[in-house]
Amino acid sequence: MMEKVSGRAIVLGDNVDTDQIIPAKYLNTAEPDKLAPHFMENEYPDLAGSIKKGDIIVAGKNFGSGSSREHAVITIKGLGISCIIAESFARIFFRNAINTGIPVIEAKVSANNLEKITVDFRNSRIFCGGKEIEFREYPEFLKNIIESNGLVNYVRSGKW
């Protein structure tokens, strides 16, 4: 697992559901490159095109609610998003992120859109607009999966 990431904040609101993240009409493929251009297209048609590799999603409550589609995580990975910060996550989205090795952090962060954010995983700190926000460490169990870079690698390592 990486120690630190920095990127521009892509600010989203509460209750962003997986139908918004990737509409079902695109679920006839699971290829990241084909899914990524359609990220949030119903609400923000130009957003996917403006996202740069390394950007960080900063969202409100219940991020990723709705369907179990792992395509939502694949879409976000396909955009090169380095980390997702949300005040809270819907449970299947959270599992998918942990299990496929994309960093997710539960924290309330008020950032301006495109503002620079740095996440220090080692010290559980977020730096944004001159402020420092501490976030809760993962329980040991989840840390092992995250540090293996996902569930498949964790199972392969024989620790399970």
Contact segment (CB under 8 A) with another protein among 47-55, 78-86, 103-111, 139-147 equals: 139-147
Q: Please state whether 117 falls in left (phi above 0), alpha (psi between -120 and 50) or beta.
A: beta
**Quick one: DSSP state of residue 5?**
E
Helix (H/G/I), strand (E/B), else coil: 29: coil
Which pair of structure tokens corresponds to residue 56? 């960080």
- Contact between 77 and another protein by CB under 8 A: the answer reads no
Q: What strands, in cross-sheet order, belong to the sheet with 4-11?
A: 104-106, 83-86, 56-59, 4-11, 116-120, 125-128, 131-134
Say which amino acid occupies 134: E
Nearer to another protein, 118 or 150 (CB): 150
Minimum distance from residue 122 beta carbon to another protein (Å): 22
Classified as helix, coil or strand, 30 is coil
| 160 near another protein, rule: CB under 8 A | yes
Q: Is 65 in the site for another protein (CB under 8 A)?
A: yes
Give the shortest CB-54-to-another protein separation in angstroms: 23
Question: 3-state class of 48 per DSSP?
Answer: helix
Q: Cβ distance 144 to 153 under 8 Å?
A: no
Figure out which of the listed residues 4, 91, 108, 131 binds another protein, where binding follows CB under 8 A. Answer: 91
Q: Is 61 in the site for another protein (CB under 8 A)?
A: yes
Stretch that binds another protein, among 18-26, 78-86, 105-113, 118-126 (CB under 8 A): 18-26
Are 73 and 16 spatial neighbours (Cβ–Cβ below 8 Å)? no
Residues that bind another protein (CB under 8 A): 15, 17, 19-20, 23-25, 27-30, 42-43, 61-62, 65-71, 73-74, 88, 90-92, 95-96, 99-100, 139, 141-142, 145, 150-152, 155-156, 160
